[in-house]
Amino acid sequence: MLMKTTNTKKKLEEMGKGMVAQLKKGDGPTFETTLRTRSNTFYDESAGCLRTGDKKEVRKFLSVAQARTFMQTVAIAAKTKQFLAEDLHTSIRGLFYQLKFTLGEDIDEDLFTEQSESNALIEDLEVALKVKREDLHLTTDRKGFVAGPMKIRDKFGGEETTIDLAKQGRSGWSIPSDVDNGMDITSLDADYVLVVEKDALWQRLNEDKFWKKENCLLVTPKGQSTRGTRRLLRKLADNKLPVYCLMDCDAWGWYIYWTIKTGSMNLAYLGRNFAVPEAKFIGVTMSDIKEFPFLDKLTIKAKDVDVKRAEEMMGYPWINRHKDWVKELKLVIKTKKKLEQDALQGQRLTFVGEYIKRKIDNKEWLS
Amino acid sequence: MAEDMFKQFREHSVAEFFKKNRQMLGFSGKVRSLTMIVHEFTTNSLDACEEAGILPELYVKIEELDGKKDHYRMTIKDNGPGIPKSHIGKALGQMLAGTKFHRYIQQRGQQGIGAAACTMFSYVTTGQSTKAVTSYSGKSITADISIDFKRNKPLITVLDESPAEQTGLTVTSEFKDVRYERGNYGVYEYLRRTALANPHCMITLVEPNNEKTVFPRSVERNPQKPFEIQPHPLGISAHDLLEFAKHNKENKRISSFLQNTFSRVSAGKVSELREMAPELNFDKRPDRLTWDEAEILVKAFSKVKWISPSTDSLVPIGKEQIEASFSNIFNPELLVVAERKPKVYRGGIPFMVEVGIAYGGGVTAAQKKGEVMRFANKVPLLFDTGGCAITETIKDMDWKRYNIRNFDEEPIVVLINLVSVHVPYTSAGKQAISHEEDVMMEIKNALMEASRGIQRYISGKKKEHEIATKRKVVGRYIKQLALDLSRLTGEDEAAVEKRLKKLIEERYSRGEGDADENN
C-alpha cells in the first residue's frame, strides 16, 4: 500500500510530466493537493482513524501569490528525485541547504532563504504525491526504542545487516525514521507489543527482562511517537500482534495514545498507514486507585490543561463512542487529579511488571 | 446745527468714488494691480477684435523705469478696429461709459469700468496722462488722455494725426504702486492662461528684464460671434427693471415695454402678469415706474411659468480648441474635455460650463500639481480663489472615486470656463464666481463627466502596470522551473523554458486581464 522508492520516483516524474503536458497544450502548469485543514479532516469510523476529505487545492504557477512556492515545490521534487536515484538520504535541513542558492545573477533572490519555507512545501509535496517524506529519502530524528524477539534485515549504505532486537543490551534498537524502505522483518516471535510512554520505565522493564519473560516487544516512543515509531507499530499490528499502551493518566499521555491509535491531523492523508486502531490503553487510570490503594497517595493535582483536555476529548466522536473512556475522563474532571506511570514503582520497583501482566491477563484496558 | 454739518456735504462723481475705492475694482496689492491693468486692456482688445472679425494679435511690454522703485511703463498694442476720435476720450477717460453696459451678450467685459479705471490709476499714482494711438479708417490719431475726477469727464489733447494703413490701438501709461513678478498672480501667468482659453489669438509679452515670450496662435479662425439676446424675465432684479425702464424710449406703456424688452414675454404672458399683479397699472409710462412697482412686477415674474431663454447665443472655447491649446501648452499624457449643453440659472440667464483636464506627460514635466485654471467668458480668474464657486466645487469633489488619490499632489491641470451673458461675479473685481446653486451644480456635473474619462484611463493604466508587475514576478522563476521540470522529466530544458516564456508573454499581456483566473 505504501509507496516504495521506485514508485515514489515514478510519481515524481509523473508530476513533472503532467506539468510539461499542460505547457504543451498552452496551459499554465499546476498540480493538485489535498486540503490539509481541520475542516477537511474527519474520523473514519470503519477504518478507525483520522482521514482527509475530498477537498482539493490546485497549486498554480501562473499566480503572483503562488509562482514562487510552485517553483520551489518543483525544485524539491527534482532534488528528491535525485536523492532517490543516488540512493542517498538527508534531513529536511540537509535538503534546505541543497536548495539554498541564488536564482541567477540577474535575479536578486534565493531559491530558498528560510528552512521554514522548504518544510511547508515538503508537506505539500508529500500530500500531493500521497507519499511520506521518508519515501522522498528525507529523514527525521530518531527517538523511539525497541527490544524483544524480532530480527530485522537492514539494507543501508550499500550493505546489508541483520539486527537481532533481543541482543541490544541496555540500550535497545533505535527506531529509524524510515522502516519501510530497505528494511524487512525477518523473524518475529513476540506475543504482543507493549508501548510505555517514558524511556525511564522502558529501562526499568528492560532491566527486569520483562520482554523476555513475557515474550513481548518492549517499545518506548519517548513521549510523542515519531513517524518511524508509528509506522513500526502499524507493521507489528499488521503481523497480528496486539498493541498495549501504558501512558501517564494526563493530557499528554492521552494525546500520545490517541495519536498512535487514530493517527494525527498532519498525516491524516495517509490514513491507516499511520494509525493503530487496534491499540489498547492498559493504564494508568484513575480507576487503578480502587484496585491498588497505595496509588491514592501518589496522585498529583491535575493542571487546568489536563482537565480542559479531558473535557475536549469527551467531545471527540472517536473518543466519546467509548463508554469506558468517558467514565475515566469524567473521573479526572471530578477528582481533578492525575496519575503518572512512574507512580507504579512507588511501592516496589518490580511492581510495574506485575501491574502490566495483571492488566493484560484480565483484559483490564480502555479501548 | 444741521447747516454746519452739511457745509461739508459734496456731490461726488463716480470717478471720485473709485479714486478712493480702487480696491473695489481689483486694484489692491502691487502685483495684482499690474495684472488687473493688463487684464482690462486685454479683454477690451479681444472683445473688439472678435466683434470686428479680426484675428487678435496682442503685444504687451512692461518696462521698469530707471532706479525708481515699483514704477513701470506699460505699452499694450492690439490689431483691433481702433477707437474713433469722437469716442477715444470717453473710452479711456470716463467711468461706466462704453458699449457693454446692459447688453445681454456674452462678452469679456461687462460694466465698462476697466480702461478708464487704468487711466485713473495711472494719473493718481504718477500724475501722468495716458497716451493713446488709435488707428482706424486709414488714419492714426495720437492723444493724451486724463480724467476730470469732479465731473467724471475725460480730458483729451490730440497731439498728432497721420495716415495709417493698419487698424489698432496702442495705449501707453505709467504706473506706481505696482510690481512686476512672475508667479501665480502675475502678468505672465495671466497671459499664458488667456492664450490657453483663446487659442485664436497671438500674444507677445516683453517683461521688464527684456525677456520676450510669444504665446502662439493654435487655431486659425475666430470663434463664432456671440449675438445679443433680450433678457429673460427670470433673472431680472427690481433695479435692473428700473434701469431698463428708464432707458426705454420707444414704448409708451409698461405692457408693450415688457413685450419688446424681454424675451418670452407675449401678450398672453402680459395678461397672466396682470392677473398676478392686479394692483399694477400696466398702461402706465415705463419711465414713471417706481421701485415698489418694479418689485411687484419682479414678484409677478416669478409666479408665471416661462419658456426658458434661448441658449444658442453662448460661445464656448470649444472642445477642439481646448484640446489644441492643451496639447500646445502641456502636451499631456491624457486630455479629457467635457462638452456640456447650455443651462439656465435663476430661471432666466443662460450659461454653459466647459471642463478640460490634462493629466501626466508634459504636466508632470512642468511640475504642475493639482492646478486649477478658472475662466469666465474665456477670461482667466487669478484672484479671490477662496471665495469662488469653481474652487469650492473642485475642493468638494471626491477625487478618490476617480482614481485621483490626492488632487494637490497629482500631475493634473483642470480648466474650467464658465460662459454666460451675465457671469455671476461676487464683486466688481470680477475674479470669483458667486455661489449660484444652478451654476455650482452644473460645474460639478461637468467636472464629474471629465473626471470619469480620467478615471477610466488611470484604472486602465494601473491595470497595465499590475499586469506588467505580475509578468515580472512570475517571469523571474521561469529559468529555475524549466531546469527542474527538465530534471524531473528528461524533457529538453531550453524547450520547456521557451514554452514557459511564451505562456507568460501571452497570459500577462495588455488587456488580457488576470491570468490567474484562467489557467
> What are chain B's domains?
14-215 (3.30.565.10), 238-303 (1.10.8), 319-457 (3.30.230.10), 476-517 (no CATH)
Q: What is the mean pLDDT of residues A185-214?
A: 95
pLDDT number for residue A361: 94
* Per-residue pLDDT reduced to its tens digit, B262-296: 988 999 999 999 998 999 899 989 988 899 999 99
Q: What is the mean pLDDT of residues B297-309?
A: 88
What residue has cell string 498554480? A60
B519 pLDDT band, cuts 50/70/90, is very low
- Asked whether the beta carbons of residue A26 and residue B488 sit closer than 8 angstroms, the reply is no
- Three-class secondary structure of residue B112 per DSSP: coil
Burial class (CB in 10 A: 0-12, 13-18, 19+), A367: middle
For A68, which of B477, B489, B516 is closest by C-beta distance?
B477
Does B337 sit behind a cis peptide bond, omega within 30 degrees of 0 on the bond before it? no
Provide the 10 A C-beta neighbour count for residue B66. Answer: 6
- Asked whether the beta carbons of residue B499 and residue A23 sit closer than 8 angstroms, the reply is yes
Tell me the shortest Cα–Cα distance from B56 to chain A, in angstroms: 59
Please tell me the distance from the alpha carbon of residue B196 to that of residue B368, in angstroms, as a whole number: 15
pLDDT number for residue B10: 57
Q: For residue A124, which of A44, A47, A30, A39 has the smallest C-alpha distance? A: A30
Backbone Cα Rg of chain A: 23
For B485, which of A20, A60, A107 is closest by C-beta distance?
A20
B348 pLDDT band, cuts 50/70/90, is confident
| pLDDT of B102 above 60 | no
* Per-residue pLDDT reduced to its tens digit, A84-106: 999 899 999 999 999 998 888 77
Given the residues A43, A97, A192, A257, select the one marked as catalytic. Answer: A97
* Greatest extent of chain B over all pairs of C-alpha atoms, in Å: 120
Contact A28, B503 (CB under 8 A): yes
% of chain B surpassing 90 pLDDT: 40
% of chain A surpassing 70 pLDDT: 98
pLDDT number for residue A263: 93
Residues of A in Cβ contact (< 8 Å) with B477: 61, 67-68, 70-71, 103
Tell me the shortest Cα–Cα distance from B406 to chain A, in angstroms: 28
* Greatest extent of chain A over all pairs of C-alpha atoms, in Å: 75
Q: What is the mean pLDDT of residues B173-193?
A: 91
Please tell me the distance from the alpha carbon of residue B493 to that of residue B490, in angstroms, as a whole number: 8
Helix/strand/coil (H/E/C) assignment for every residue in chain A: CCCCHHHHHHHHHHHHHHHHHHHHCCCCCEEEEECCCHHHEEEECCCCEEEECCCEEEEECCCCCCHHHHHHHHHHHHHHHHHHHHCCCEEHHHHHHHCCCECCCCCCCECCCCHHHHHHHHHHHHHHHCCCHHHHCEECCCCCEEECCEEEEEEECCEEEEEECCCCCCCCEECCCCCCCCEEEEEECCCEEEEECCHHHHHHHHHCCHHHHHCEEEEECCCCCCHHHHHHHHHHHHCCCCEEEECCECHHHHHHHHHHHHCCCCCHHHHHHHCCCCCEEEECCCCHHHHCHHHHHHCEECCHHHHHHHHHHCCCHHHHCCHHHHHHHHHHHHHCEEECHHHHHCCCCCHHHHHHHHHHHCCCCEC
Size (chain A), residues? 367
* Per-residue pLDDT reduced to its tens digit, A45-62: 999 999 999 899 999 999
Please tell me the distance from the alpha carbon of residue B148 to that of residue B14, in angstroms, as a whole number: 11
Write down the pTM of the prediction: 0.59
Would you state the cell numbers that stand for residue A31, as one nine-digit string? 498540480
N- to C-terminal Cα distance for chain B?
101
* Per-residue pLDDT reduced to its tens digit, A226-241: 999 999 999 999 999 9
* Per-residue pLDDT reduced to its tens digit, A110-129: 999 888 888 889 989 999 99
Backbone Cα Rg of chain B: 30
DSSP B7: G
Residues of A in Cβ contact (< 8 Å) with B496: 20, 23
Q: How far is CA B344 from the centre of its chain?
A: 18
What are the helix and strand counts (H, E) for chain B? 16, 14
| pLDDT of A164 above 80 | yes
| pLDDT of A304 above 60 | yes
Please tell me the distance from the alpha carbon of residue B393 to that of residue B395, in angstroms, as a whole number: 5
What residue has cell string 503572483? A64
pLDDT number for residue A3: 47
For A75, which of B474, B484, B503 is closest by C-beta distance?
B484
pLDDT number for residue B238: 87
Tell me the shortest Cα–Cα distance from A135 to chain B, in angstroms: 16
- Asked whether the beta carbons of residue B485 and residue A61 sit closer than 8 angstroms, the reply is no
Q: Nearest chain B residue to A15 by CA: give it.
A: B488
**Residue ranges of A 31-50 with Cβ closer than 8 A to chain B:** none
pLDDT number for residue B467: 86
**Taking the C-alpha atoms of A232, A236, A238 and A239 in order, what is their torsion angle to the nearest 10 degrees?**
150
| pLDDT of B5 above 80 | no
Q: For residue B77, which of B49, B45, B33 has the smallest C-alpha distance? A: B45
Q: Which residues contact B51 (CB under 8 A, 6 or more apart)?
A: B81, B225
For B484, which of A23, A68, A78 is closest by C-beta distance?
A78
For A64, which of B473, B499, B500 is closest by C-beta distance?
B473
* Mean pLDDT for chain A overall: 92
- Three-class secondary structure of residue B215 per DSSP: strand
Mutate to test the interface with A, among B477, B486, B506 (most CBs of A within 10 A): B477
pLDDT number for residue B428: 67
pLDDT number for residue A141: 87
| pLDDT of A144 above 80 | yes
Q: What are phi and psi of B231, to 5 degrees?
A: -65, 150
- Asked whether the beta carbons of residue A71 and residue B477 sit closer than 8 angstroms, the reply is yes
pLDDT number for residue A363: 93
B157 pLDDT band, cuts 50/70/90, is confident
For A17, which of B487, B489, B499 is closest by C-beta distance?
B489
| pLDDT of B418 above 50 | yes
User: Considering only A134-148, B6-20, B369-383, which range has the smallest mean pLDDT?
Assistant: B6-20
Clarify whether A97 is annotated catalytic.
yes
Please tell me the distance from the alpha carbon of residue B65 to that of residue B2, in angstroms, as a whole number: 50
What residue has cell string 502691487? B30
Q: What is the mean pLDDT of residues A7-20?
A: 95
Query: Which of A5-14, B187-196, B233-242 tops mean pLDDT?
Result: B187-196
* Per-residue pLDDT reduced to its tens digit, A306-342: 999 999 889 888 898 899 999 989 988 999 999 999 9
N- to C-terminal Cα distance for chain A?
26
Higher-confidence residue of A73 and B453: namely A73
Q: Which residues contact B320 (CB under 8 A, 6 or more apart)?
A: B219
Higher-confidence residue of A137 and B124: namely A137
Residues of B in Cβ contact (< 8 Å) with A61: 474, 477, 481
- Asked whether the beta carbons of residue B480 and residue A19 sit closer than 8 angstroms, the reply is no
Q: Which residues contact B449 (CB under 8 A, 6 or more apart)?
A: B338, B340, B355
Q: For residue B90, which of B21, B148, B163, B166 has the smallest C-alpha distance? A: B148
Q: What is the mean pLDDT of residues B465-483?
A: 89
| pLDDT of B96 above 60 | no
% of chain B surpassing 70 pLDDT: 90
- Asked whether the beta carbons of residue B488 and residue A24 sit closer than 8 angstroms, the reply is no
- Asked whether the beta carbons of residue A67 and residue B485 sit closer than 8 angstroms, the reply is no
Residues of A in Cβ contact (< 8 Å) with B500: 23, 29
* Per-residue pLDDT reduced to its tens digit, B31-62: 988 998 899 899 889 988 988 999 999 999 99
Q: Nearest chain B residue to A17 by CA: give it.
A: B489
Size (chain B), residues? 519
Please tell me the distance from the alpha carbon of residue A44 to that of residue B269, in angstroms, as a whole number: 91
Would you state the cell numbers that stand for residue A47, as one nine-digit string? 477504518
* Domains and their CATH numbers in chain A: 5-139 (1.10.10.10), 145-361 (3.40.1360.10)
Tell me the shortest Cα–Cα distance from B496 to chain A, in angstroms: 7
* Per-residue pLDDT reduced to its tens digit, A281-302: 998 998 899 889 999 999 999 9
**Residue ranges of A 62-91 with Cβ closer than 8 A to chain B:** 62-65, 67-68, 70-71, 74-75, 77-78, 81-82
**CA atoms within 13 A of residue B229's CA, in its CB half-sphere:** 24
Contact B358, B334 (CB under 8 A): yes
Please tell me the distance from the alpha carbon of residue B519 to that of residue B169, in angstroms, as a whole number: 73
* Mean pLDDT for chain B overall: 86
B457 pLDDT band, cuts 50/70/90, is confident
pLDDT number for residue B513: 46
What distances in angstroms separate CA B392 from CA A45, B386, B397, B416, B434, one per listed residue?
72, 7, 9, 12, 10
H or E stretch at B375: strand B371-376
DSSP B109: -
